[in-house]
Chain A
Amino acid sequence: MPKLGYLTALTRALGDELERDPGVCVFGEDIRVGVANVTKGLVQRFGPERIVDTPLSEQAFTSFATGAALSGHRPVIEFQIPSLMFLVFEQIANQAHKFSLMTGGQVKVPVTYLVPGSGSRTGWAGQHSDQPYSLFAHVGLKTVVPSGPADAYGLMVSAIRDDDPVVVLTPAASSMTFESVNLAELAPLPLGVGHVVRPGADVTVVAVGQFVGQAVEVAEELADEVSVEVFDPRTVYPFDWQGLAASVRRTGRLVVIDDSNRFCGLGAEVVAVAAEEMRLLAPPRRITRPDGAVLPFALELDRAAQPHRDQLVTAIQQVCKEGR
């Protein structure tokens, strides 16, 4: 089977949807040459009218896409830097997301906001290293974080087809991953449905993005001492609570590894819901960035502020010791 790269999967998803639906168009900076390696070749196939290089006016072109969406288009915006999402939070959270409710259901705003290379890029420092999915989840934006190439394809296609605005944050740490796939079997993946990547009996590890692969590796390493189930929600919001509950019913223990800051992050919500609604044999554990973290530049510091697989190993071992 051919190896599909993560970014190539995104390119393929964009190409397929541009082909399928004439309303799809792409806005962004340097997308005609494809600086982020996602939109390469699209302008040759679909022309500059649909693959639109924009000035460095993130706020304007984000709401510009809303205006296009209100007029029947299905725009995709590529952002070069995850931290730009703070700049356009008004246009996404306060405008596009609110239009459906505020108009009493008169409109839909089917815009996809794609950040290829979200999270730490290793050495890009404070203003290029955020992973803001919990922020979007908090305000109710549909938010997906694909963990691998096939998921990237399937979730990207569904995001574009969805009638609501969707934020797609693909981790920089996953960008260079490859997966053997039968290209003919690539298909849309439903938003809001997670899946068990690796079944286990003793503890459920909820992992997002690049941590899904790491959690599976850890699970294999620990296979002699504990049976770890890895649950990938795929969509951060809406979260697949039923899928998680089914897993926790089997294992009774929960660890979350989450590239958000600790306070009000995804991990906090997962642990809170588990405490309220699920039967746990032991207190759950979270591994996140520290409270209010800003990623420092130096490599040692950048890594120190991110969740680490060693922390995951420890958390799994601790949670499995308790409540026996």
Chain B
Amino acid sequence: MPKPSADTGGSRPDAVALYRTMRMIRRFEERCIALVKAGEIVGGIHPYIGQEAVAAGVCAALRPDDVITSTHRGHGHVLAKGADLNRMTAELMGRTTGLNKGRGGSMHAADVGLGILGANGIVGAGAPIATGAAWAAARAGADRVAVSFFGDGAVSQGVVLESLNLASLWRLPVLFVCENNGYSSTATVADMVAGTIVGRAVAFGIPAETVDGMDAEAVAAVARKHAERARAGGGPAFLECATYRFDAHHTWEHRSFVRYRTPEQVDEGRRRDPVRIQGERIPDAERARVDDEVEAALEEAVRFALDSPKPDPADALDHLYATGLRPRAGVSTHA
């Protein structure tokens, strides 16, 4: 455990930093849901509410030069890895000041300079990308690690299982982080996953463990242990973080009538709130200060996004090619 330090009022600095990250993600998501309802974010989002301890805990174990791949439910990972809040907000609102200049949105937010290789719209698709990035790190003799975040639904994707094989075969420094939030979209894990989740990793000879995904410090400790092992050449590891999705699979659910869990089940799932758990580990006054800082930062971020320019429709296919190749327009020219 880190030593207490005077300037944080005697609490552990890790605890405060973790709480700040989680509170930021929680309030960011709540704000985004409101922005979806207000029509300021189009297309909706996959809220990360309830799972904050996973992103915050894992990313607390990472260095700036480590890389991550994320998921359709990726806001938490992107923010925890250090993305600028203003630019993240602007991205979701489709502004040119966004991380991706408004070209990616919620499901593709990326900041490659910070090692964030992108949220991804296809379940499991980040696993082989992270594995390849880990290979590149090992080839370069660097002790970087790559983290692939994915949900419990992804353990049924062949490409994830193929990646486990590659990573183990070549002892690559990659952490596979499965966020088991209980549901792949509307289906329960029990209905969709045969065997066990960690059993898949074990079958490939990868050390795997299940951790309380509602406890950020527990997640951070396990992630740090495996990251250090991977940095030292020990190969991949697999973490199943047991968590719960408090809100919708997608904000579309707020307007639809799909019923796959009862309000009572949700209430039961919400009884262990990772943000509250972490908040109770720090002094009340400090928590209040962090909360105020988060609110101020969010106010500023939303204002920044609203004040930022929308893209010019003429630029719709900018960046399609890294080489600058311009595609033909959709309307014919005439001889």
A100 contacts partner chain B, Cβ-Cβ < 8 Å: yes
Closest CB of chain A to B70's CB: distance in Å?
13
B159 contacts partner chain A, Cβ-Cβ < 8 Å: yes
Question: Contacts A57-B165, A90-B122; is A67 near B128 (CB within 8 Å)?
Answer: yes
B47 contacts partner chain A, Cβ-Cβ < 8 Å: no
Task: Enumerate A275-322 residues with CB–CB distance to B below 8 Å.
Answer: 276-279
What's the Cα separation between A72 and B146 when bound, in Å? 15
In contact, A105 and B322 (Cβ under 8 angstroms) = yes
A109 contacts partner chain B, Cβ-Cβ < 8 Å: yes
B111: A residues at CB distance < 8 A: 106
In contact, A106 and B112 (Cβ under 8 angstroms) = yes
What's the Cα separation between A49 and B135 when bound, in Å? 10
What's the Cα separation between A21 and B283 when bound, in Å? 56
B320: A residues at CB distance < 8 A: 100-101, 140
What's the Cα separation between A162 and B321 when bound, in Å? 10
B323 contacts partner chain A, Cβ-Cβ < 8 Å: yes
What's the Cα separation between A254 and B325 when bound, in Å? 27
What's the Cα separation between A60 and B163 when bound, in Å? 6
Q: Which residues of B contact A (CB under 8 A)?
A: 67, 69, 98-104, 108, 110-113, 117-118, 120, 122, 125, 127-137, 139-140, 146, 158-159, 162-163, 165-166, 169, 317-323, 325, 327-328, 332-335
11 contacts between A and B (CB under 8 A): A57-B166, A64-B129, A66-B129, A70-B132, A99-B118, A100-B321, A101-B103, A106-B111, A107-B322, A142-B325, A279-B335
Add 16 more A-B contacts to A60-B131, A164-B322 (CB < 8 A). Answer: A57-B166, A63-B125, A64-B129, A64-B163, A66-B128, A67-B117, A70-B112, A94-B125, A101-B320, A104-B101, A110-B322, A140-B320, A163-B322, A163-B323, A273-B332, A276-B332
Q: Which residues of A contact B (CB under 8 A)?
A: 49, 54-55, 57, 59-73, 90-91, 94-95, 99-110, 140, 142, 162-164, 192, 238, 241, 273, 276-279
Closest 9 CB pairs of A and B: A67-B132, A104-B101, A71-B136, A60-B162, A108-B322, A63-B128, A64-B132, A57-B162, A105-B319
